Amino acid sequence: MGKGEVKIKDLIVKEGGKVNHWFTIGQMLDGSPYRVPLIVINGKKPGPKLLVGACVHGDEVLGTEAIKTIAKKISPEELSGIFIGAPIINIAAYMTLARVDKLETPIGDNSMSGLWDSGSAEGSMTERAAAFFREEVLPSVEYYIDIHSSATGSYNSPRAIVAGDFVELDPVVRKRIDEIGVGCNYEVVFKPKSASWKGMYFPPRTFFESRGIAKIVLETGGAPTISDVETIREGIYNIMKQIKMIPGEPHLKNKQTYCSRLIAIRSNTGGIFRFTAQLRDRVKKGQKLGEITDVFDNVVEEIIAPEDGILVKIATTAAVYTGIRLIVLAVP
Question: 211 and 269: one domain?
Answer: no
Question: 186 and 293: one domain?
Answer: no
Task: Look at residue 190 and tell me if it is in a domain.
Answer: yes
- Helix 62-73 vs helix 229-242: crossing angle, to nearest 10: 50
For residue 307, give the CATH number of its domain.
2.40.50.100
Question: 56 and 88: one domain?
Answer: yes
- Domain end (from 259, 277, 305): 259
- Helix 171-184 vs helix 229-242: crossing angle, to nearest 10: 130
Residue scoring higher pLDDT (113 or 171): 171
- Domain end (from 259, 280, 308): 259
**Residues listed for the chain:** 332
Question: 207 and 245: one domain?
Answer: yes
Task: Look at residue 1 and tell me if it is in a domain.
Answer: no
pTM for this entry = 0.96
Residue range 22-35: average pLDDT?
A: 95
Residue ranges making up the domain that contains 299: 261-331
Residue range 193-201: average pLDDT?
A: 89
Question: 199 and 323: one domain?
Answer: no
296-309 confidence digits (pLDDT tens): 999 999 999 999 99
What DSSP letter does each residue of 110-149 carry, written as one string? --GGG-TTT--TTS-HHHHHHHHIIIIIGGG-SEEEEEEE
- Domain end (from 211, 242, 259): 259
How many domains does the chain fold into? 2
Residue 1 has pLDDT above 50, yes or no: no
Question: 285 and 245: one domain?
Answer: no
What confidence tier does 233 reach under pLDDT thresholds 50, 70, 90?
very high
Task: Look at residue 96 and tell me if it is in a domain.
Answer: yes
Residue 329 has pLDDT above 60, yes or no: yes
Cβ within 8 Å of residue 75, ≥6 positions away: none
Left (φ > 0), alpha (ψ -120 to 50) or beta: where does 171 sit? alpha
Question: 136 and 273: one domain?
Answer: no
240-286 confidence digits (pLDDT tens): 999 999 999 999 999 999 999 999 999 999 999 999 999 999 999 99
Question: 238 and 285: one domain?
Answer: no
